[in-house]
Amino acid sequence: MEPLKERVKELLEKGEIGGFLGYRGDLPYLFTRAEELDGLAVGAHRYPLPQILAKLQGLYPEGRFGLLVRGCDERSLIELIKNNKIQSERVVPLGVACDQELAERCGCERPYPTEVLLGEKVEGREGWELLERLEAMDEEERFRFWMSQFAKCIKCYGCRNICPQCFCDTCALEEEDLIAGGTIPPEMPAFHLVRAFHMAGRCVDCGLCEEACPTGIPLRTLYKEVRRAVKDLFGYEPGLSVEEKEPFGYLGDGRYEVPERLK
């Protein structure tokens, strides 16, 4: 922890940041004074810190903040910068590599950020097991599986609320024309399919949606399928480069060709 604490202390004392967004205990915390840093923690707990940072930048238009970033946090940060939700010049990311246990638990392919200040880079794990089992089923079996999962939904919006890439001012999941109100489970499969389409080109596979789901719907597997489709069709992976725009931002300009099988 010392390299991280020392760097944050240096940034605070030099006035290069107004605060550092990390963890104290099990919860997110904004450290604004060097003497608070004894409480700085890096454990297995995960929250959408980049999403919180976006709100902080909105509240403090001139503020500059440090941010603790794991691999998934960095990918989220990149997408939020590309979508103009975070100003890159007003954030100082400090990288933390996840240990092997956390990487295995999360099934993370890239459990470390580009630059690591704390920890050692460990080998990732793809976590495709359920998706591979589903692909071995026929179409009717897959349909029954997903309908049984969607039937468990209580429409708590936990998956949407915790997602660092859900940042629309008006949410389609609250539109009566798309998702009828007052029904539990919500109209199937519209609720989850609408969200899956919205995650195409955005989802960074952080897995927070599935962790937040109180009924255990394997949402991450659903979004992995969407991520893989985008990669197969366009050669694009979200969260890897600030310069590379998502393919749906280029629709109609000829940059991407529609594959023959989709015409």
Instruction: Please tell me the predicted confidence (pLDDT) of residue 255.
Output: 55
Instruction: Please tell me the predicted confidence (pLDDT) of residue 129.
Output: 83
How far is it, in rounded angstroms, from Cα 143 to Cα 241?
35
Buried-state track 121-135, b at ≥16 Cβ within 10 A, e below 16 = ebebbebbeebeebe
15 vs 49, 64, 69, 214, CA distance in Å?
A: 22, 9, 20, 42
Yes or no: say if 188 and 222 are a contact pair by the CB < 8 Å rule: no
Residue 10 has pLDDT above 80, yes or no: yes
How far is it, in rounded angstroms, from Cα 94 to Cα 69?
6
Quick one: 57 and 181 in the same domain? Answer: no
How far is it, in rounded angstroms, from Cα 248 to Cα 70?
27
| Weakest mean pLDDT among 10-24, 213-227, 240-254 | 240-254
pLDDT category at 260 given cuts 50, 70, 90 is: low
pLDDT in tens, 76-117: 999 999 999 999 999 999 999 999 988 888 888 899 999 999
pLDDT category at 29 given cuts 50, 70, 90 is: very high
Residue type, 74: E
Q: Which domain holds residue 99?
A: 2-106
Tokens representing 4 are 């991280």
More confident residue, 173 or 68: 68
Share of the chain above pLDDT 90, in %: 60
| Residue found under tokens 């989802």 | 203
Q: Is 116 inside a domain boundary? A: no
Yes or no: say if 216 and 206 are a contact pair by the CB < 8 Å rule: no
Q: Is 239 inside a domain boundary? A: yes
Quick one: 150 and 87 in the same domain? Answer: no
Domain total in the chain? 2
| Farthest-apart Cα atoms in the chain, separation | 62
More confident residue, 75 or 198: 75
Q: Is 21 inside a domain boundary? A: yes
Vertex 81: Cα angle to 220 and 17 (nearest 5)? 115
Residue 175 has pLDDT above 90, yes or no: no
How far is it, in rounded angstroms, from Cα 65 to Cα 250?
32
Yes or no: say if 30 and 20 are a contact pair by the CB < 8 Å rule: yes
